[in-house]
Structure 1
């Protein structure tokens, strides 16, 4: 099987897995809320996922030293499929008072497995496409991710309400097995194989990706951009956007869904545009990252000051393309300026930064919303993205692009 066929199977596999993941999230959150009647308790689910994925980012280098990336990614998807299958059995056989703690324990395991798979996927993709097609490949993966999330969040609620939680988890299990089946035929063409020679101590191996980031000026700047912009990522999820819709736009919960759908649609549109213009963007990749960050900052500021719901809906749509432009340019830059030998470990460290930043964002933005106004949350986030744009100028000094 050639590299292009392997990339297509990787793309298909990850699209199926992401759709299953979105259905599973809705099913578990609904189950926890229905069982406890507590929104706060249901909120533990995303916090648990983020903590587990951050933990897996620290431990992933140990596995990358032992397994090839294609096998590690397959192992991640197959492990999740088995966990989902076991979860379905528990819903049938386990008494209700034991179900929530057991399900949360499985969620922890699934999240760790998922966290191992993310850097493996992002490090495997550059090995399956020519260097001049890397941005197009990243835009295709990013667009597919957003399309699947849009479908999953739109369809998931209907399926949970119509079929039930157990049936939706069964569908997720089947999807994960199909994802693992597709990955079975993906072959890593790289000559890099895990060595049987004596390796450094586990702690030193876990630090390798972090050490490379800290000693490489470009990667250090990209990581700082990720931390700063990541602190504002939670404004499009959870209670923040709901408070904005009710308190500023004076609309009901249905407009929460409209705003989120508009934002997802914008990111899909942005991914398609970048896919079409990938050759031009590759020649201006730092400038693209700068424009993306600046565009997000300006549009977030406008969104914060808008009071008309239809205008806010349009701004949410327009915000999608700069989000994709910044994120795809950033990922491509990181992949193309890290050697293949170290890329997976650098991506594992980078992913940990992403998860930790998002977790901090949930806490920080909630605190700001409680002590200031929800509009100030968006103004503050706009400022973070403008700072990120300034950092993109610093990145220019560390590359010839």
Structure 2
């Protein structure tokens, strides 16, 4: 895969875009907090970004049957770069002090542009990689993005101590521009859906949902993804912070270590999937059920554990074995779904994942306040056991060639 030029342009183009996104989000959160000194106002940034990206993912099918997939990636990056210039101008000239609402409008547009990236990238990958290389390709992408996520947030926080918010935004703009240059090199990929006979707006918007509903493997994937996403919501930073400080009475710095262990575990999981790619391609069921079952067991152990060092190790294990389920699952969708339907399917699944995570985060936070953090980890492990059972009873469907 590392000799495949299209794959490399996609990898490096999206990597540059992701680092730039992290830097601009850090700078915006900092700018809002410095202006308002309000945690609530700052926390609205990821909320606004998530909502805008969900809307974009829902609307993506309206464009995929009319525009080439690589052109959509380039165009949305160009729009993002343009509004990053606007964001830089808005902050540098002090307009944010007069009207903070305008800042949220700009980041909404930027997030809306970014919302096309994930479903389009997942849909375009099978055009550049053979079926037997999909596991390797997804492993490389996931591992790279995990590493960049760790480095981006850590590096961005350090840069914030040395540079001003406008300077960081300039760096983000440069990375967005680099992303455009790299993505322009991609081979053209178009999805001809004219033969479907129905090109109405609602047909295009709902086509992915109908496909998921009628294809057994996709329906199974949607169900287990809802359960899995709900279960994984216990690992959001706010829940871990409460667990560390209030339940285990440990110092706050352990919070950062646990989050880092989880992300590094994800990196190791991606590398492991790469090494096991041939086995995963032949028997995805065994890897998926192993990963899910171990995460369920580890999550339950977390609920009864009181040792910080053990919690650190358990967090890393969740990251590792979580990838052993997620990467084969993505590869299955790509290899078993008609390429013409992939943009619709991945757009619908992205909406499903993001919407479920947003609702689950609120629900889990409420449960933790009412019954304690240990209780939500028990619930999480129970949901993952259900996922394992569903996988077990659908072994033939998953391993079907």
Question: Could you tell me the TM-score, scaled by structure 2's length?
Answer: 0.95
Please give the alpha-carbon distance, in whole angstroms, between the structure 1 residues aligned to 2:362 and 2:190: 43
Q: 1:1-400 alignment to 2 at 5 Å? A: 4-188=4-188, 190=189, 192-193=191-192, 195=194, 199-399=198-398, 400=400
Asked whether the equivalents of residues 54 and 115 of structure 2 are also in contact (C-alpha less than 8 Å), the reply is yes
Which shifted more, 134-143 or 41-50? 41-50
1:83/1:395 CA distance change after superposition, 3 Å: farther
Secondary structure of 1:304 counterpart: helix
Please give the alpha-carbon distance, in whole angstroms, between the structure 1 residues aligned to 2:86 and 2:96: 16
Asked whether the equivalents of residues 35 and 97 of structure 2 are also in contact (C-alpha less than 8 Å), the reply is no
Asked whether the equivalents of residues 67 and 194 of structure 1 are also in contact (C-alpha less than 8 Å), the reply is no
Please give the alpha-carbon distance, in whole angstroms, between the structure 2 residues aligned to 1:112 and 1:151: 24
Cα root mean square deviation, aligned:
1.9
Which shifted more, 318-327 or 42-51? 42-51
Alpha-carbon offset, residue 47 of structure 1? 1.6
1:326/1:37 CA distance change after superposition, 3 Å: same
Please give the alpha-carbon distance, in whole angstroms, between the structure 2 residues aligned to 1:182 and 1:394: 44
Asked whether the equivalents of residues 96 and 103 of structure 2 are also in contact (C-alpha less than 8 Å), the reply is no
Q: Which runs of 4+ in 1 moved over 6 A?
A: none
Alpha-carbon offset, residue 25 of structure 1? 2.0
Which shifted more, 6-15 or 295-304? 295-304
Alpha-carbon offset, residue 198 of structure 1? 7.3
Asked whether the equivalents of residues 45 and 104 of structure 1 are also in contact (C-alpha less than 8 Å), the reply is yes
Alpha-carbon offset, residue 393 of structure 1? 2.3
Please give the alpha-carbon distance, in whole angstroms, between the structure 2 residues aligned to 1:305 and 1:24: 39
Please give the alpha-carbon distance, in whole angstroms, between the structure 2 residues aligned to 1:359 and 1:136: 30
Alpha-carbon offset, residue 327 of structure 1? 0.6
Gaps of 5+ in 2: none
Please give the alpha-carbon distance, in whole angstroms, between the structure 2 residues aligned to 1:394 and 1:55: 34
Alpha-carbon offset, residue 121 of structure 1? 0.4
Asked whether the equivalents of residues 90 and 99 of structure 1 are also in contact (C-alpha less than 8 Å), the reply is no
Please give the alpha-carbon distance, in whole angstroms, between the structure 1 residues aligned to 2:315 and 2:244: 12
Q: Deviations over 1:264-322 (max 9, x none)?
A: 11111111111111111211202211111112111111122221111111111122211
Gaps of 5+ in 1: none
